[in-house]
Amino acid sequence: MDKQPLHKDWHGGPPHWGDASPEWVARRRRFAFRFVSALILATLVLALLLAGLAIAGFLLAGQGTLAIGRAELILLLACVAAPVLLVILFVGALVYRRVGSPLAEMMAAADAVAAGDFSARVREIGRGEMAALARRFNRMTAELERADKVRRNLTSDVAHELRTPIQIIQGNLEGVLDGVYEPTAEHLGATLDETRRLARLVGDLQTLSLAEAGELPLHRRPVAAADLLDDIVTRFLPQATESDITLKAVVDGEPLLNADPDRLESVLANLTANALRHTPAGGRVTLGGAATVAGVVLTVADSGEGIAADDLPYVFDRFWRGDRARHRAEGHTGLGLAIARQLVVAHGGSITVDSTPGVGTTFTIALPGG
């Protein structure tokens, strides 16, 4: 998560309102008025208490009669109350600066977040508890802002992905009804292909939603990594042979997993299909497995075209495609890697990618051992 820059030279309020925001000024004044009023009341109560104690002391010392005159008494009380008042004012100002002012900013920023402004931030001043609270608040709002951006992007991406097949289906059906197209197997087949693509998209979205919510059922059992990789090689070997690509599995030792074999096979199948798609004739795709101290590592490496460095941070995002036009034409939904990551995370593991353009790409899956 990118850390949001914080402005250290504010004069009127947080950066999301601007220096001259009337709302910020009004909130701060109201908070300051309540704080100062409480401070004055506490000062008066303490001063009266000290004065009463002083008078009681002198009365007791004079055996019931005041041993000093009125002027001396007033001077004495002033000498006692003035330092106490100064100390209280100093402590109050310090408390307001360290606690009151940051709290006022945080309350105002919290109201902004509640109103839907996730860009709200507060100052991180000092090293105390209020500074720690401010840092946590800023991290929370940054995460909320990121999640809101992802949600908005997802809505836009889904609408974009649905638009193309719906337009094709609509155009074909209208053409048939208007007599422009004959209801031949070719036109009906094209329409059927688009409905299947829509069904895949909806199914992938449902799987991704369940995985992200932690509600995707997993049927775990002991699985040998070698068996899992051999099944993938057997499944994709005809496609690799047809494309003149060498496909093989290399397993070090006998790594054992406690996992849902169907879900993991789905992940490996997606990675292998992508590797074959982006590897030219004469290239190679290697599936690897090895036991580690932390568990088991599975890899899918190819000698293909690679992924640009600027694209690497986004390969697991929804609807990311290296070649958007080609992948859409081939019927891919753009959700495969996003689903793969969530399935790996559901198993308590992690997935990373390393790539060099023109050299190849390696996906690494780290999973707990069986």
> How is domain 154-212 classified at the CATH fold level?
Helix Hairpins (1.10.287)
* Inter-residue contact 275 to 349 (CB < 8 Å): no
Per-residue model confidence (pLDDT) at position 327: 45
- What pLDDT was estimated at residue 8? 39
CA trace torsion 223, 229, 235, 238 (10° rounding)? -160
> For residue 124, what are the CA distances in angstroms to 103, 207, 218, 343?
12, 40, 43, 38
How far CA 85 is from CA of 33, 71, 75, 161, 312, in Å, comes to 18, 20, 15, 70, 63
The CA distance from 24 to 4, in Å, is 21
Largest CA distance in the chain: 121
- pLDDT of res. 40: 72
Ranges of the chain whose pLDDT falls below 50:
1-20, 63-64, 324-331
DSSP SS3 for 96: helix
| Residues with Cβ within 8 Å of residue 325, at least 6 apart in sequence | none
Q: Domain 221-368: what homologous superfamily?
A: Histidine kinase-like ATPase, C-terminal domain (3.30.565.10)
**Calpha distance 145→9 (Å, rounded):** 23
Asked if 320 and 334 count as a contact pair (C-beta separation under 8 A), the reply is yes
Q: Would you state the pLDDT for residue 52?
A: 64
Q: Is residue 56 within 8 Å of residue 80, measured between CB atoms?
A: no
- Sorted by where each begins, the domain ranges of the chain are 22-123, 154-212, 221-368
* pTM of the full structure: 0.56
145-170 pLDDT per residue, tens: 877 777 776 676 677 667 777 877 88
Q: Do domains 154-212 and 221-368 have the same CATH topology?
A: no
Would you mind telling me the total number of residues written for the chain in this entry?
370
pLDDT tens by residue, 255-296: 899 888 888 998 999 899 989 998 999 999 999 999 888 889
